[in-house]
Amino acid sequence: MPNSRSTPLDTTAVRRRNLSAVLDLVHRRRGVTRADLTRALGLNRSTIGDLVGVLVAHGWVDERDDQTRSGVGRPSPLVVTRDRWLVAAINPELDVIDVALVSLGGEIVARRRTFVERPSAATAVEVAARVVRELSAEHPQATVLAAGVAVPGLVRRGDGCVRLAPRLGWRDEPLAEALREALGMPAAAANDAHLGSRAELTFGAGQGAASVLYLNGGPSGIGGGIVVDGRPVEGSAGYAGEIGHLSVDPRGIACACGAHGCLEALVPRAALTAAVGLAHPDDDELDAALQQAVTAEGDATGPVSSIVREQLGWLSIALRSVVNLLNPERIVLGGHLAALWRASSADDRAASLAEALPVTATDVRIEVAALGAQRLLIGAAELAWDGLIADPTEVVPLEAAGASAS
Ligand SMILES: [Zn+2]
């Protein structure tokens, strides 16, 4: 017969789960009223008040009056994130190691890009650990608790081992473990496109959509994140979504993977950066430069416009296949694919799904990533937040938080 009274163990587990649920909602919505917490979590007001109090005492959140309410009655206090606890987000690429400190709510507090040509995994760990320490020292009011890495390659679920990052030349690199040792804190790693997809779904252009196809374009190629019915599709070992290696031209040029005519071989970021004459632009800089160049040409046959047109043509072939396969509600383009899309003519964009099956393609919305050049870092931070949000008061006991009480 089920026991109607909770045992102490149950109570602790329920409380931990509730604390985690409150923190998760404050994080994802970047602030939420107590009234909304009560409604969303189905808990009573005094329980929510108690849980929020615990999170305030541990330095995770603050409370302030909700200024947005103008109706009658007492305004519900707004529970907001604070940046007492941070995570480190790392994105090693072909020419740069991008490092940021990220607060709850996915806000970038500090960011530093270090230019290194084709870093080895050991160099990437060394540079990342040094930059994390430098940025931490510049933010003495905060403490970095964990790290997440977005890797342009195939990363094994579970231990964060990079099985293969073809363009970086990494094979079977225990990246998460090395970083854990170098930083002395929990560290996790995952595929960059999967993390970009997660960031856009939580905070960006994928919000509210149940079936989303995210395409990430970067210096190392093109990856994908697939979400079907609200769940990420990872494949049997976590390697699903390699849209960059869809064949769009079987007689095409060789790809780093060994096959021919892959999407990423025909739509390289380097061709766009060379066309606008920039050496190490981040995605926002590339986006602005490409639009400016196309506008300045004012002619579809101009050199930059021709490259844009050709690349959009190859991208459209890939999109046709994936739309027919997955029937997504939304397609989100990130990195140089976003820049490519925005630099393309309205006619070319409108024709991009013209050859997909009409019934599948009719309601698909194509959008550019809302988080721009920050999407992979915010995604990497999500990976680091997972363990902290799951058990916030265990990670930060009261004595550790005490110093920050104000
Ligand atoms: Zn390939």
C-alpha of residue 107 to centroid of ligand 1, in Å: 34
Quick one: pLDDT band at residue 360, thresholds 50, 70, 90?
A: confident
Residues with CB under 5 A from ligand 1 (ion): 245, 255, 257, 259, 262
In a 13 Å sphere around the CA of 269, the CA atoms on its Cβ side amount to 28
**Distance (Å) from CA 221 to ligand 1 centroid:** 9
More confident residue, 313 or 395: 313
Determine contact, residues 334/216, Cβ cutoff 8 Å. yes
Distance separating alpha carbons of residues 312 and 345, to the nearest angstrom: 10
Give residue 169 CA to ligand 1 midpoint distance, Å.
14
CA–centroid distance, residue 324 to ligand 1 (Å) = 21
For residue 4, how far is its CA from the centre of ligand 1 (angstroms)?
Answer: 58
- Whole-number Cα distances in Å, 231 to 194, 272, 329, 354: 12, 33, 14, 28
Q: Which two tokens stand for residue 405?
A: 């009480």
CA atoms within 13 A on the CB side of 216: 31
Note the pLDDT tens digit of each residue in 269-280. 999 999 999 988
Taken in order of first residue, the domains within the chain and their CATH numbers are 8-81 (1.10.10.10), 85-194+377-397 (3.30.420.40), 206-370 (3.30.420.40)
What is the DSSP track for 338-386?
HHHHHHS-HHHHHTTTTTS-HHHHTT-EEEE-TTGGGHHHHHHHHHHHH
CB 308 within 8 A of CB 292: no
Average pLDDT of the residues in 230-243: 90
Helix-strand-coil split of the chain, %, nearest 5? 45, 20, 35
Q: C-alpha angle 285/290/296, rounded to 5°?
A: 125
pLDDT at 272: 97
Share of residues in the chain with pLDDT > 70 (%): 94
Q: How high does pLDDT run on average in the chain?
A: 92
Cα 154 to ligand 1 centre (Å)? 13
| CA 18 to ligand 1 centroid distance, Å | 45
With cut-offs at 50, 70 and 90, classify the pLDDT of residue 284. very high
Cα–Cα distance for residue pair 158/273, rounded to 1 Å: 35
Q: From ligand 1's centre to the CA of 122, what distance in Å?
A: 25
Ligand 1 centroid, distance to 236 Cα (angstroms): 20
pTM over 0.85: yes
| CA 210 – ligand 1 centroid, Å | 28
Q: Is the pLDDT of residue 404 over 50?
A: no
Looking at the DSSP assignment, which residues form a beta bridge with residue 210? none
> 209 CA to middle of ligand 1, Å?
29
In this prediction, residues 171-181 reach a mean pLDDT of 97
**Residue 245 Cα, ligand 1 centroid: separation in angstroms?**
4
pLDDT higher than threshold 80 for residue 124: yes
pLDDT at 358 (0 to 100): 84
Compute the distance between CA of residue 24 and CA of residue 17 in angstroms, rounded to an integer. Answer: 10
Contacts of residues 206-212 at CB distance under 8 Å and 24 or more positions apart, as own/partner, are: 206/330, 206/332, 209/329, 209/330, 210/329, 211/326, 211/327, 211/328, 211/329, 211/330, 212/328, 212/329, 212/330, 212/331, 212/332
List, in sequence order, the alpha helices (H) in 79-191. 121-138, 175-183
The sheet with strand 221-228 has its strands ordered as 231-233, 221-228, 212-218, 330-335, 365-368
- List, for residues 181-197, the tens digit of each pLDDT value: 999 999 999 999 999 99
Ligand 1 centre distance from Cα of residue 143 (Å)? 41
The predicted structure's pLDDT at residue 406: 40
Of 31-45, 251-265, 372-386, 392-406, minimum mean pLDDT range: 392-406
Higher pLDDT, 69 or 319: 319
Whole-number Å distance between alpha carbons of 147 and 145? 7
Q: Token digits for 227?
A: 């979400």
Beta bridge partners of 86: 144
Residue 267 CA to ligand 1 center (angstroms) comes to 11
The arithmetic mean of pLDDT across residues 358-374, rounded, is 91
Q: Find the mean pLDDT for residues 166-176.
A: 94
Residue 1: per-residue pLDDT: 44
Going from the Cα of 222 to the center of ligand 1, the distance in angstroms, rounded, reads 9
